Amino acid sequence: MITVTKKDLVQLGYGNSFAADIIKKAKELMIQKGHVYYSSKKLDRVPVGAVEEILDIQLADSDNDD
């Protein structure tokens, strides 16, 4: 599973607070889907698919593993 952190989002050009909000919303989405593991406050890594669903963009190209 490909995951993303706040630091990764900042490297993509998002601001610190916006990146933190994205991670928070992705964690909430994962909890809604039944993955209670993401309710941990210390967890700062979420699946890239959750972030893509929130932003409605594709971050990772799964077909290109060069």
Using one digit for the tens of pLDDT, what is the confidence trace for 11-65? 999 999 999 999 999 999 999 999 999 999 999 999 999 999 999 988 766 554 4
pLDDT of residue 59: 79
pLDDT of residue 22: 96
Which own/partner pairs from 59-66 qualify as long-range (CB within 8 Å, at least 24 positions apart)? 59/4, 59/12, 60/2, 62/2
> What are the boundaries of each domain within the chain?
3-55
